[in-house]
């Protein structure tokens, strides 16, 4: 699709799908972003949910500087991933000290649909990922629109979940997906389960969306197995092919997305033959309501 100039933005955007996501054309993230320019970028972010930048080389310092425009950047509890001298950056790599694939996937939890930080009271507002090294095969990132996921539910579903709250638990989702890297007791104590509304209202756009994903374990006030079944069913119902963007990474790309109204996941790749190094920061938002 060809770029178009929306409203009075000082950059062009190229739609990634008819439903969500744009590539931003004409903004150099290697330079300081002044407040009016960031305001326009944030407007595009709220409108399109996913922003893609073909930045080329971008230093960790510039990535963190860009992230700080969005708000407070999370320092992740899983401190084994800190890298590059910035505790705000979470580095996912399958390379050994010689730069060769080590055969281990650094975070299998990313393979299931989820929303970053939903296991915290204050959940992720935006996530900003920069791809340093990307696989030739696999390792894509998928995004699906949770505004649309909600709007396409029938009225029976909407009234059934209108006042329900789900308990999100990082230990649950990590243990379920990959038991080989359990959380330490201190990490568990730092991340007690929290409950959030299943239907949240985006604090800035005012639109309703589904807020579940892989960290959601059970439903408050409902027998555990019934709540599990409801969450599994709704997680599937919420995803629509025509409301999903699949991103095939090239090195030097940066994506910022809105965790409040999207779910995302990574596709698998062979960590024994493919190389993948990405740097991530998550911006703290508020408590979903
Ligand atoms: Fe994620």
CA of 141 to the centre of ligand 1 (A): 9
Which residues, by Cβ under 5 Å, contact ligand 1, an ion? 116
Q: Residue 2: what pLDDT?
A: 52
How many A from CA of 223 to the centre of ligand 1? Answer: 28
What is the 99 CA–ligand 1 centroid distance (Å)?
Answer: 24
Ligand 1: centre distance to CA 265 (Å): 6
Cα 185 to middle of ligand 1, angstroms: 22
Q: H-helix or E-strand containing 89?
A: strand 86-93
108 with 178: CB under 8 angstroms? yes
Instruction: Give the H or E element holding residue 225.
Output: helix 224-237
Q: How far, in Å, is the centroid of ligand 1 from the Cα of 206?
A: 23
Note whether 283 and 71 are within 8 A (CB): yes
Residue the block writes with tokens 């629109």: 145
DSSP string covering 26-54, please?
Answer: S--TTSPPPHHHHHHHHHHHHHHSEEEEE
C-alpha 8 – ligand 1 centre gap (Å):
32
**86-125 residue pLDDT tens:** 889 988 899 999 999 999 888 776 889 999 889 999 999 9
Q: What is the distance between the alpha carbons of residues 136 and 171, in angstroms, rounded to a whole number?
A: 32
What confidence tens digit (pLDDT) does each residue in 254-287 have? 999 999 999 999 999 999 999 999 999 999 999 9
State the Cα–Cα distance between residues 60 and 199, nearest whole angstrom: 35
With pLDDT > 70 as the criterion, what percentage of the chain qualifies? Answer: 93
Give which of 110, 48, 42 is closest to 71, Cα–Cα: 42
């Amino acid at each position: 699709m060809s770029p178009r100039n929306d409203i009075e933005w000082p950059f062009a955007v190229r739609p990634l799908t008819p439903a969500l996501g744009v590539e931003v054309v004409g903004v150099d993230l290697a330079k300081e972003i002044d407040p009016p320019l960031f305001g326009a970028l944030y407007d595009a972010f709220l409108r399109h949910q996913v922003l893609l930048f073909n930045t080329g080389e971008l230093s960790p310092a510039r990535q963190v500087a860009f992230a700080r425009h969005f708000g407070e950047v999370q320092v992740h509890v899983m401190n084994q991933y800190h890298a590059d001298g910035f505790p705000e950056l979470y580095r996912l790599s399958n390379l050994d000290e010689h730069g060769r694939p080590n055969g281990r996937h650094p975070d299998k939890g990313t393979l299931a649909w989820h929303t970053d930080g939903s296991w915290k009271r204050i959940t992720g507002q935006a996530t900003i990922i920069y791809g340093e090294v990307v696989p030739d095969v696999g390792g894509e990132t998928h995004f699906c629109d949770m505004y649309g996921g909600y709007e396409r539910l029938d009225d029976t579903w909407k009234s059934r979940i209108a006042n329900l709250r789900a308990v999100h638990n990082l230990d649950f989702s990590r243990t379920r997906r990959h038991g080989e890297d359990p959380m330490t007791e201190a990490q568990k104590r730092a991340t007690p389960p929290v409950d959030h509304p299943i239907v949240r209202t985006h604090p800035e756009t005012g639109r309703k969306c589904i807020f579940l994903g892989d960290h959601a374990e059970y439903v408050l006030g409902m027998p555990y197995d019934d709540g599990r079944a409801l969450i599994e069913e709704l997680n599937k119902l919420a995803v629509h092919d025509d409301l999903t963007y699949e991103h095939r990474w090239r090195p030097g790309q940066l994506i910022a997305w809105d965790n409040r109204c999207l779910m995302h996941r990574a596709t698998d790749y062979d960590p024994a033959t493919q190389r993948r190094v990405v740097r991530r920061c998550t911006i703290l938002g508020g408590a979903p309501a």
